[in-house]
Amino acid sequence: MAELMGGGLNEYGGYKLPDDQMMNPERFRRNIAQLPAELQDPKSWPIEMQREIGDDWGTTAAAIHREKVVESFRVLRKEIDDFKPDAILIWSKEQLENFGPDAMPPFCIYAYDDFKIKRFEDTEMDVHIHRQAAKHLAAKLTESGFDVAYSYKPLHIQLAHTFAGLITYLNWDKQGLPYPIIPFYVNSFGHWHLTRDGYSRPDELDVPPPPPWRCFDLGAATARILKDSPWRVVILAGSSWSHASYMKKTSFLWPDVDFDRALFADLKTGNYKAWRNLDREALWGAGNQEFMSWVCLAGALDEAGLKPVYLESAETWIFNSTKVTAVFK
């Protein structure tokens, strides 16, 4: 049987910004007047948030936040290099880039030809696709009752910023990434995303994304198929956790740190099955619209019996989202 390794990271773009811009202080200052009256004074914000802002609007905190996350990227990359995989499967979402109102599948495996990406960098980066493994996985998942979509060429763009960012961050130190990729799209937004972009009509019910239990079961089926395959595969979840930008209940100022801490506790103890029973509405209410890729990973970890050997949570109240990096063996 083939060996699997698990992991997770995020594609947050703020790491490439100058320290004094990572928090986007101009946006904060500009929007204060539009906040509810009880939040217009920054002294009313959570004390942890005030401390992180400091007296320089997050400039000092930005360097600390970036250093912590980048070091975790390096740990994950070293573990991948030591594992020497035949392929890296990445679960992540898109934001109306390749899929939109003309097609919105619950899941899609990309079996593209090799191509180049340019994300956060001045130079292009070669990306290799393990097309044989991608087609094998799509076929076996279909035979297992998961009607996943698959694609041999892009619909609108080569690769969404999410996947491109994740691949770039696996190559943070620009040593190259010789391992073929299997991009695996997970619809994390569904009707919420389309509604936000104006495609919804009030008299029509939009289609939601797949529920957590379906993502978990798909992850478990993926692990079963890959364990019986001839390939050593790293399976990764790629997204940040709670996003302030989705948090209506905090007026979009800070993420749901407490909710993420509970999720992180499940990860530390290997209580992966708890994520199968997560309530989708609760996830959305906590700003975790992008979390479904991690639920897929949890199903795979549970099926493969992988345990956490490295976990890093970069909590923040001002840089939009909690960032978790992980390694499972």
Q: Answer whether 328's CB lies under 8 Å from 3's CB.
A: no
Span 12-35, pLDDT tens digits? 999 989 999 999 888 888 888 888
Query: Which CATH code for domain 4-328?
Result: 3.40.830.10
Could you give the 3-state DSSP secondary structure of residue 296? helix
Alpha-carbon distance of 152 to 49, in angstroms, equals 45
**Is the Cα torsion angle 299, 302, 304, 308 positive or negative in sign?**
positive
Alpha-carbon distance of 270 to 262, in angstroms, equals 13
Q: Binning pLDDT at 50, 70 and 90, where does residue 151 land?
A: very high
The structural domains of the chain, with segments of one domain joined by +, span 4-328
Span 59-104, pLDDT tens digits? 999 999 999 999 999 999 999 999 999 999 999 998 778 887 788 8
pLDDT at 166: 94
- Between 113 and 291, whose confidence is greater? 291
Widest CA span in the chain: 60
Residue 2, classified by CB atoms within 10 Å of its CB into exposed (0-12), middle (13-18) or buried (19+), is middle
pLDDT at 50: 96
Cα dist from 179 to 69, 84, 174, 319, whole Å: 22, 8, 14, 31
Span 194-239, pLDDT tens digits? 455 545 555 666 778 899 999 999 999 999 999 999 999 999 999 9
Mean pLDDT for 136-147 is 97
Mean pLDDT of the chain: 91
Span 245-283, pLDDT tens digits? 888 899 989 999 999 999 999 999 999 999 999 998 899
Span 316-329, pLDDT tens digits? 999 999 999 999 99
DSSP string, 224-243: HHHHTSS--EEEEEE--SSB
